[in-house]
Structure 1
Amino acid sequence: MAINHSSFLFLLLSIFLHFFLFGCSEKIEAYKFGELTANLQHQSHVVSLKSLMPSGVCSTQTQGSKTSSGLLQVAHKNGPCSSLKKGNTKVPNFRQILIDDQTRVKSIHSKISNHKDPLADSAVKIPATSGQSLGTGNYVVNIGIGSPKQQNTVVFDTGSDLTWIQCQPCVVQCYSQQDPIFNPSSSTTYSNISCNSVACSQLQSATGNTQSCRNTCIYLIQYGDGSYSQGYFGTDTLTLSSSDVFPKFQFGCGENNQGLFGSADGLLGLGRDQVSVVSQTSRKYGKLFSYCLPASTSSTGFLAFGSQVGTSSTQYTSLMTDSNNPSFYFLTITGISVGGKNLGIPQSVFTTSGTIIDSGTVITRLAPAAYSALSSAFRRAMTKYRTAPAYSILDTCYNLNGYSTVTIPTIAIHFTGGTDLNVDQSGILVQASSTQYCLAFAGNNASTDVEILGNMQQQTFEVVYNVASGKVGFGAGACK
């Protein structure tokens, strides 16, 4: 049978259109599926509850690609990687940690004015280990003091300036620590600072106390939980690595010390005052340091001076200052998103209170209106799970008995400059008891109380403090 030429062409065209449209349809559907999957991942985390529980096995890791002889591995104070002996101090339970954390927050609120003025304008890595200081779950690092070097394990704190350690003889009292108490008479480079020196006159800005004189400079520093240290203000050699040694480093040699410092030997001040480590090492490090706080007590973190450790891209936001409290690191929050949706909180909510980033506060504190919006959005996304009573300062809680995994919404904190801190899942939900889990945020009592970005929400990020350039950055996935 003969086939009409025009009919044949029509048949070929029909076949072509069929396969073209069918193929495009498959591609469109695949694209839509991929887009849907990406959106779902942006909106939620599937969390294994086991990952939120402490592990008995140490899992060490290498941080970043810029490794050097100064990179030291450390662990959570109470975890399996810790070098500190657990017998020296009682490990606080979670309820006590929250109580002590609130004490620290109240102390910070009492120091900071409610009116903020914006600021217009070779690395060494040392270990970062979570510990207990000033009543909260802070972090410790290993440093050397003296000639010959005596090893000291000290809390590092971005909310403090003066570095101090316990010293012999403990004329009044010293608390129990793991390392031998520093003996200044055994160091050939130790000397006291005279009371009529410029260094002594500048000490008040770092401690908040008027200094007394007995020919030598005497310091006294007190903390919000009642902890304190008192002794001689002196100089000695600070060693951070074999190649990073700082002669005549100014620090407190405490002979009268008491408080909730665990078994750490003292405190390393990372604030912005002239006496802080950041300022005293500025010629070498250029006022640049960073740290990464691990998500798990069985993992390690780091503290680095002089350069960034991680390889991931870092988002920066402007560093601000309060003229009345210039030591604190202020940031400006512009919004919060839950499940990928911006909550539309008015900017005035954040500017009224102001915000600091603090390595020593555990739970992030938000202005009441901001926390209310966050809590409400989180609850709407968690309706399939049974609610539980409040636990201490945490009031958005769930009974997850019987679950091995849960789906929780993502949370992002937005800062000026378009910077987003996409909070790691370890900083969203915290285990309060065997079956109870809570949102790891809390609200302030008043709208004028400064907001605080706590260390749980900083976990796994390399937090980069470029003080000289007036910015703070967040690099994702720097530690686990």
Structure 2
Amino acid sequence: MASFSTLFFFLLFLIFFNFNNINLSLAHSKHSKTTIVYHSFSHSFPLISARLSQHASKTSFISSLASSRTKKQRQENANNEKAVKPPPPSSSYNYKSSFNYSMALIVALPIGTPPQNQQMVLDTGSQLSWIQCNKRMSPRKPPPPTTFDPSLSSSFSLLPCTNPMCKPRIPDFSLPTSCDQNRLCHYSYFYADGTLAEGNLVREKFTFSSSQSTPPLILGCAMNSTENKGILGMNMGRLSFASQINLQKFSYCVPIRQAQVNNKLPTGGFYLGHNPSSDSFQYINLLTFPESQRMPNFDPLAYTVGLVGIRIGPKKLNISESIFRPDAGGSGQTMIDSGTQYTFLVEEAYNKVREEVVRLAGPKLKKGYVYGGSLDMCFDGNPMEIGRLIGDMVLEFEKGVEILINKERIMDDVGNGVHCLGIGRSQSLGVASNIIGNFHQQNVWVEFDLANRRVGFGKADCSKSL
């Protein structure tokens, strides 16, 4: 993986040429990212699970939005949020569906008029949503049937260069735009894991039923991308799907990935709007911080929560609570991210976890092995036996709220008989944040109550969540 500085200067180089109307093959958001992003191809409409391309799967555990922001990127994001107009009056959306899960949550959303189902990665770490739009190369080579065909939708429109989103200016790193040769608003996103996508900004509806649809929302319409799925941005940014429709709450329940029967992936549940199980949820407030703490390493658009400790077996690790909180520069932030596969911890917290794992199961550790450049607590042999040696792991939050990771599912199968503890160093992502990924959200309802600025957790058998 190239160094962060190399990737950053490469991005500036690309943006420079893009502003001169040279059509470069870049793109995306997550996991948000016009910024450089480490996205895990990382909300219910038919969510289907599909393994990403071989290239993407190698970095599927890498974080989204927060993974690689520079000081200037974070400053631009915070400044832009100040200028955002108040959202429109709230509309009540209620929609539910089942989904399958492998390493990412992939939702099939009905977009356009009449609707066309589009596959998008549900990502609470991304802002701008984008879809794959078709590009007719020739009459004899029709576009893939899974892409969106704008010509079939009566509610589709392109954003011209005169739109405020496309005003000539220093690039907005939360959404780098330019004016293309057709006088249309062009965007480019480049993810540090190699994912590319670019296209035009458009307005389009999400049509859930004949009686329930959104107003036209700003989306990216990708004409060039290295992936065949889009992104459903669900963070707190002004352009996220949740913000644009002033969504009050949404929730999902990730099933246990290992529990496959006859090669069929397990099924979980997703709600857009009210969740009938929410009476049993335990809630923690989203954290807010003074403006002075939002730079340079703090992501103000993420769902930041108060992690206070980690237990392994009966032992609470000797980690100060301050390690899980942002310092004056924003380092140490703890966020919930559906688009990141694994969990990543800052160095001091990670070292304490690894020290305890080595104490409990050190002789069985696979020496000198690092999966994907990030996971180095890996083992050969029976994962159930190793899990028994390590024991249950518990993430402790404020107000006594906990997420229990049972010893039976503490290890993840990464192939070739190797199983790794699903925790890596956030330093390997180039960030100083704690990121709780979807692997540690299995068999838990996770609700984002945006109206009350809180996150709820509820124990569940997610295969029976609807």
Same fold per superposition (TM over 0.5): yes
Change (3 A) 1:376 1:250: same
In the alignment, what sits opposite 2:50?
A: 77
**Contact 1:463/1:475, CA 8 A, preserved across alignment:** yes
Identity %: 27
In the alignment, what sits opposite 1:124?
A: 95
In the alignment, what sits opposite 2:364?
A: 386
State the distance in 2 between where 1:278 and 1:406 align: 38
In the alignment, what sits opposite 2:245?
A: 281
Q: 2:351 aligns with which of 333, 351, 372?
A: 372
In the alignment, what sits opposite 1:8?
A: none
In the alignment, what sits opposite 1:34?
A: none
The reply on whether 1:410 has 2:392 as its aligned counterpart is yes
State the distance in 2 between where 1:309 and 1:426 align: 29
- Secondary structure at the counterpart of residue 211 of structure 1: strand
**Contact 2:66/2:431, CA 8 A, preserved across alignment:** no
State the distance in 1 between where 2:206 and 2:253 align: 22
Q: 1:440 aligns with which of 400, 422, 427?
A: 422
Q: 1:431 aligns with which of 390, 393, 413?
A: 413
In the alignment, what sits opposite 2:302?
A: 328
Change (3 A) 1:435 1:140: closer
Q: 1:453 aligns with which of 428, 431, 436?
A: 436
Deviates more, 1:435-444 or 1:424-433: 424-433
In the alignment, what sits opposite 2:37?
A: none
Q: Which amino acid aligns with 1:220?
A: S
In the alignment, what sits opposite 2:195?
A: 227
In the alignment, what sits opposite 1:271?
A: 235
State the distance in 2 between where 1:105 and 1:272 align: 12
Q: 1:349 aligns with which of 323, 329, 351?
A: 323
Deviates more, 1:96-105 or 1:268-277: 96-105
State the distance in 1 between where 2:426 and 2:436 align: 12
Q: CA deviation at 1:339?
A: 0.9
How many residues of Structure 1 are paired with residues of Structure 2 in the alignment? 378
Paired residues for 1:231-242 under 5 Å: 231-242=199-210
Q: CA deviation at 1:110?
A: 4.7
State the distance in 2 between where 1:345 and 1:302 align: 34
Please give the per-residue CA displacement for 1:345-373, whole angstroms capped at 9, x wherever unaligned. 11232224111211121121111221121
Extract unaligned runs of 5+ from structure 2. 1-42, 79-92
Q: Which amino acid aligns with 2:449?
A: N
**Contact 1:129/1:141, CA 8 A, preserved across alignment:** no
Extract unaligned runs of 5+ from structure 1. 1-69, 79-88, 132-136
In the alignment, what sits opposite 1:138?
A: 104
Q: 2:282 aligns with which of 303, 315, 326?
A: 315
The reply on whether 1:397 has 2:378 as its aligned counterpart is yes
State the distance in 2 between where 1:479 and 1:277 align: 24
In the alignment, what sits opposite 1:246?
A: 214
State the distance in 1 between where 2:216 and 2:131 align: 15
Change (3 A) 1:439 1:274: same
**Contact 1:349/1:369, CA 8 A, preserved across alignment:** yes
- Secondary structure at the counterpart of residue 142 of structure 1: strand
Q: CA deviation at 1:108?
A: 3.3
State the distance in 2 between where 1:105 and 1:270 align: 11
The reply on whether 1:360 has 2:339 as its aligned counterpart is yes
Paired residues for 1:175-190 under 5 Å: 179-190=145-156
Q: Which amino acid aligns with 2:422?
A: A
State the distance in 2 between where 1:190 and 1:253 align: 11
Change (3 A) 1:105 1:380: farther
Deviates more, 1:229-238 or 1:334-343: 229-238
In the alignment, what sits opposite 1:463?
A: 446
State the distance in 1 between where 2:116 and 2:431 align: 44
State the distance in 2 between where 1:145 and 1:479 align: 27
In the alignment, what sits opposite 2:30?
A: none
- Secondary structure at the counterpart of residue 247 of structure 1: coil
State the distance in 2 between where 1:326 and 1:106 align: 10
Change (3 A) 1:230 1:426: farther
State the distance in 2 between where 1:448 and 1:182 align: 35
Change (3 A) 1:386 1:273: closer
In the alignment, what sits opposite 1:9?
A: none
- Secondary structure at the counterpart of residue 328 of structure 1: coil
State the distance in 1 between where 2:59 and 2:431 align: 21
Q: CA deviation at 1:177?
A: 8.6
Q: CA deviation at 1:394?
A: 2.3
Change (3 A) 1:402 1:74: closer
Please give the per-residue CA displacement for 1:75-125, whole angstroms capped at 9, x wherever unaligned. 4324xxxxxxxxxx7556xxx7354534858843657869xx9xxxx5212
- Secondary structure at the counterpart of residue 456 of structure 1: helix
Q: CA deviation at 1:340?
A: 2.8
Q: Which amino acid aligns with 2:441?
A: Q
TM-score by length of 1: 0.68
Change (3 A) 1:98 1:454: farther
Change (3 A) 1:240 1:326: farther
In the alignment, what sits opposite 1:295?
A: 256
Higher gyration radius (CA): 1
State the distance in 2 between where 1:107 and 1:313 align: 33
- Secondary structure at the counterpart of residue 101 of structure 1: coil
State the distance in 2 between where 1:437 and 1:361 align: 18
Change (3 A) 1:423 1:241: farther
Which structure features the higher share of strand residues? Answer: 1
Q: Which amino acid aligns with 1:379?
A: V
Q: CA deviation at 1:274?
A: 1.8
Please give the per-residue CA displacement for 1:37-75, whole angstroms capped at 9, x wherever unaligned. xxxxxxxxxxxxxxxxxxxxxxxxxxxxxxxxx965544
Change (3 A) 1:347 1:103: closer
Please give the per-residue CA displacement for 1:129-149, whole angstroms capped at 9, x wherever unaligned. 446xxxxx4221011122121
The reply on whether 1:217 has 2:199 as its aligned counterpart is no
Change (3 A) 1:202 1:416: farther
Change (3 A) 1:338 1:449: same
**Contact 2:63/2:339, CA 8 A, preserved across alignment:** no
Q: CA deviation at 1:312?
A: 6.9
**Contact 1:76/1:300, CA 8 A, preserved across alignment:** no
Please give the per-residue CA displacement for 1:147-201, whole angstroms capped at 9, x wherever unaligned. 12112111121121111112233589xxx99644222122112122233334556
Q: Which amino acid aligns with 2:195?
A: S
Please give the per-residue CA displacement for 1:303-343, whole angstroms capped at 9, x wherever unaligned. 32111253672122221357453322212211111113221
Change (3 A) 1:110 1:457: farther
Q: Which amino acid aligns with 2:442?
A: Q
**RMSD between aligned alpha carbons?**
3.7
Change (3 A) 1:463 1:224: same
**Contact 1:318/1:331, CA 8 A, preserved across alignment:** yes
TM-score by length of 2: 0.70
